[in-house]
Amino acid sequence: MTIRRLLPLAVGIFAFLLAACDFAGSPEGATGRWIGVAEFEADTILADHNVRFVATYQTTFTFNLADDEGLITGTLSAKTLGTRATTEAGQATETITFDDQPALINDVFGTFVDPELEIDVPDGPYEANLWTFDVSGRRADLDRFVTHTHVVPLADGSSFTLTLRSSDAFEMERVAENAAAE
């Protein structure tokens, strides 16, 4: 084969491979609406408290972000759907249904220095330094699990805490380039 025949083929292969990659990001940096879901499941008996704890729910986290030359502002909305049931020995089962709970909304601030997106939620119920993502195109990976702490009341008036970890490490996807877009 001659160079003339190979050159169009090489250009075509390069263009195809480049189109398949999702590394370019967007000209707005981290601006946009990002959504990720953390799923939680537990079915355990806690012998120290004579309690059975069963939970199946998911929390959808929606980050609406504006990137002003690397400085991030916006909101984080967390909506939980599912149930949690606790049964203490000799007591009726107490079930909490999260489906009818309003979304928890907090202001966020942070920075985006490609590829790292760091988001702080100063007034939120999240552990410190939780939301630090590695961004690649439309995807952002946390490489950590999200945790939820439950306070479980007992019949004698005392309570205990139980912390659940999400089924998978958290990741989110940019679903809109404009944070205000629906």
Three-state DSSP at 147 gives strand
Strands (E), 47-167: 51-68, 71-88, 94-97, 104-113, 116-120, 131-136, 139-141, 147-153, 159-165
Write out pLDDT tens, residues 95-152.
999 987 789 999 999 999 999 999 999 988 888 889 999 999 999 999 999 999 999 9
Single pTM value for the model: 0.79
Check whether 157 has a pLDDT greater than 50: yes
Write out pLDDT tens, residues 31-85.
999 999 999 999 999 999 999 999 999 999 999 999 999 999 999 999 999 999 9
Model pLDDT, residue 87: 97
Model pLDDT, residue 96: 94
d(CA 176, CA 86): 39
d(CA 109, CA 121): 7
